[in-house]
């Protein structure tokens, strides 16, 4: 069993300047904590969160942002009826609003403001926009989380080196690096909804969906030793956890990663790969 004093000493060393590099000290501390978990001194959930805290310190906004292609945008020039329809269908709480170009974000629209006041006389969406917070892709998640907390802000617009919009990031995205996936208003909630058919023919699949269920749905025959889920299949095929927006083709099925973090895949889109006709 690890000596409690040695664990405290290691924590103290990590927080004070030492000749060894921060990465070496961090790895030593994580290994000691893993030993402590093995011996029952801390539980697996606590260890996972501690590792998540370390991970947040190493990641920056570009690592977990929602790419601009996957953002549910609001165009300020749309009619009020169209905006209300889009907000209800997307079921998010906050929306970036642009004018003219998606690189020209003029504010953030809160769904509660729109739905609460849109029936009022002379209502104008522009009057209810909250200021947008812009951050560089290189901003550390640990700093961003503190900014979210201090400024009571929940969403930031991520700007690339050319001042274009790279994507958005929410406080939930950052917290999920520590505590794991947080089910929210646009996640799939029901266990029966591991697989959902979309209007465009794609199939939305939870990463935790068992391969047997996927095979039954798609008529496929995926079977890999010691792999039980769709996320496991994709990760095993790539040899790593893919990023959001990546396309992976496996045995004629194209998987598009719709929601993921550096540790796991949450949501994918699956579609039959169209064969080229000679």
Q: pLDDT at position 3, please? A: 52
Task: Assess if CATH 3.30.70.20 describes domain 63-179.
Answer: no
Residue pLDDT, tens place only, 191-210: 447 888 887 788 989 888 99
The class of domain 191-272 in CATH terms is: alpha beta
CA dihedral defined by 227, 59, 98, 259, rounded to 10 degrees? 10
Q: Above 50 in pLDDT, residue 275? A: yes
CA distances 265 to 101, 127, 132, 186, Å, are 31, 38, 29, 16
Q: Above 70 in pLDDT, residue 16? A: no
Residue pLDDT, tens place only, 216-268: 999 999 988 888 899 999 999 998 888 878 899 999 999 998 877 666 788 88
Which DSSP string do the residues of 237-259 spell out, in sequence order? Answer: HHTSPPPTT-EEEETTEEEEEEE
Q: pLDDT at position 277, please? A: 47
- In our burial notation (b when 16+ CB lie closer than 10 A, e otherwise), range 255-276 reads bbbbbbbeebbbbbbbbeeeee
Q: Would you kindly state where each structural domain of the chain is located, as residue ranges?
A: 4-42, 63-179, 191-272
Asked if residue 154 lies in contact with residue 171, where contact means CB atoms within 8 angstroms, the answer is yes
pTM: 0.58
Q: Above 70 in pLDDT, residue 163? A: yes
| Mean pLDDT over the full length of the chain | 83
Asked if residue 145 lies in contact with residue 56, where contact means CB atoms within 8 angstroms, the answer is yes
Residue pLDDT, tens place only, 72-95: 999 999 999 999 998 988 888 999
């Amino acid at each position: 069993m690890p000596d409690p004093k040695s664990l405290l000493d290691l924590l103290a060393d990590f927080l004070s300047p030492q000749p060894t590099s921060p990465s070496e000290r961090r790895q030593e501390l994580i290994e000691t904590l893993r030993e402590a978990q093995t011996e029952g001194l801390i539980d697996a959930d606590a260890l996972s969160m501690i590792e998540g805290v370390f991970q947040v310190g190493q990641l920056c906004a570009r690592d977990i942002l929602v790419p601009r292609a996957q953002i549910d945008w609001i165009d300020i020039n749309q009619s009020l009826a169209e905006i209300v329809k889009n907000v209800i269908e997307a079921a998010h709480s906050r929306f970036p609003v642009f004018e003219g170009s998606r690189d020209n974000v003029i504010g953030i629209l809160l769904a509660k403001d729109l739905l609460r006041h849109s029936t009022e006389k002379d209502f104008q969406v522009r009057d209810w926009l909250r200021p947008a917070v812009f951050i560089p892709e290189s901003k550390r998640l640990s700093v961003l989380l503190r900014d979210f907390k201090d400024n009571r802000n929940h969403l930031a617009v991520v700007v690339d080196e050319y001042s274009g919009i790279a994507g958005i990031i929410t406080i939930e995205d950052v917290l999920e690096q520590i505590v794991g996936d947080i089910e929210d208003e646009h996640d799939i909630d029901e266990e029966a909804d591991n697989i959902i058919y979309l209007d465009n023919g794609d199939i939305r699949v939870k990463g935790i969906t068992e391969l047997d269920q996927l095979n039954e749905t798609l008529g496929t025959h995926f079977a890999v030793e010691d792999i039980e889920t769709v996320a496991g299949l994709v990760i095993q095929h790539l040899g790593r956890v893919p990023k959001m927006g990546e396309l992976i083709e496996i045995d004629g099925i194209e998987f598009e990663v719709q929601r993921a973090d550096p540790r796991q895949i949450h949501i994918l889109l699956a579609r039959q790969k169209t064969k080229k006709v000679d």
